[in-house]
Amino acid sequence: MKILLIGRTGQLGSSILAERTNHTIIAPARSELDIESMASCERAIDGSCPDVVINTAAFHNVPQCEIEPLKAFDVNCIAIRNLAAICAKRNVRLITFSTDYVFGGEKRTPYREDDRTGPLQIYGISRLAGEFSALAMAPDHATIIRTCGLYGLSGANSKGGNFVDKRIADAKTIKKLEMGSDQVVSPTHAGDLAKAVLQMIEHPQLTPGIYHLVNEGECTWFEFTRAIYELMELDTSVTPVDRGGRSGEMRRPRYSALANVKVRELGIVMPHWRNALERYLDDKYGLHNT
């Protein structure tokens, strides 16, 4: 299978490239494929003739989306709409990604794929619009994967690194740290997500539509931070703080854990978040060699 990968330097894109696979993966640089340019996407797809396009590119700096809403919609909606239209016209499958932030946080059990959406901020609204656009333009070709709390070995350039690495950096200079206990999430290792995405595209029963794909289980950011410090044996103390799901004036869902209902039906099972975190820390920091 020939795969055109968009977003090769991001946490997920680099994790997909790192996987051992028999597929041919073509991963152009951003200078070669600009997702905001329909012509650029057409040239890349026509030049590589892929069976599948995997798009991992997005504008996912949540606070910045509030400042640059037009940019958020350009990247997270319009570009996805155009990409889906190109793929449908050329009979190419499209795999693209979305977020837990399409939900409003009113539930207290993990969100299923068919649960009602209700985003609270520009980021979530733009991503939900991207979902609708992809399915409208390519109902027979588009698969949307919602994920949550992604962290990977490459970090996240737009956010200045991922959550795990930032907390470890904090511990070098801070002995007491406050961390939000008001958001319940499903933090997800990009390496596990990459493996599962490749399993999905190989699965004969995969159909277009929306799927959830996260590490199993749920926790608050406070609980996740405490687990990082426990596993790394760092002595920084963490105090839970309830910010009411807000970052300044911007709202975040207080509960956005996701349930992997549809991928489980395909026989794809994700590891628990704590197991994923331990493997990440071992791979990056030599957890079991210290």
Residue-wise burial string across 172-203, b where 16 or more C-beta atoms lie within 10 A, e elsewhere: eeeeebebbbbbbbbbbbbbbbbbbbbbbbee
Residue-wise burial string across 23-47, b where 16 or more C-beta atoms lie within 10 A, e elsewhere: bebbbbeeeebbbeebebbbebbee
Q: Please give the Cα distance from 143 to 198 (Å, whole number).
A: 13
Q: Please give the Cα distance from 72 to 124 (Å, whole number).
A: 10
Residue among 101, 111, 123, 151 flagged as catalytic? 123
What proportion of the chain, given as a percentage, has pLDDT over 90? Answer: 87
Pairing of the two strands 142-147 and 93-99? parallel
Lowest mean pLDDT among 70-74, 78-82, 231-235, 285-289: 285-289
Q: Which residue has the tokens 């390519």?
A: 138
Q: Which residue has the tokens 């949540």?
A: 62
pLDDT recorded at residue 287: 75
Domains defined along the chain, listed by start: 2-159+188-216+256-272 (3.40.50.720)
> What's the DSSP call for residue 133?
H
Q: Please give the Cα distance from 62 to 285 (Å, whole number).
A: 28
Would the pLDDT of 233 be above 70? yes
Q: Quick check: 223 and 285 in contact, CB under 8 A? A: no
Would the pLDDT of 38 be above 90? yes
Instruction: Record the pTM.
Output: 0.94
25, β-bridge pairs: 3
Would the pLDDT of 124 be above 90? yes
Task: Tell me if residue 123 is catalytic.
Answer: yes
Q: Which residue has the tokens 């958001």?
A: 183
pLDDT recorded at residue 156: 55
| Other CB atoms within 10 A of residue 109 CB | 10
SS3 198: helix
Q: Quick check: 217 and 273 in contact, CB under 8 A? A: yes
Name the percent of the chain in helix, strand, coil, to the closest 5. 40, 20, 40
Find the angle CA(242)-CA(243)-CA(247) to the nearest 5 degrees. 150
pLDDT recorded at residue 125: 98
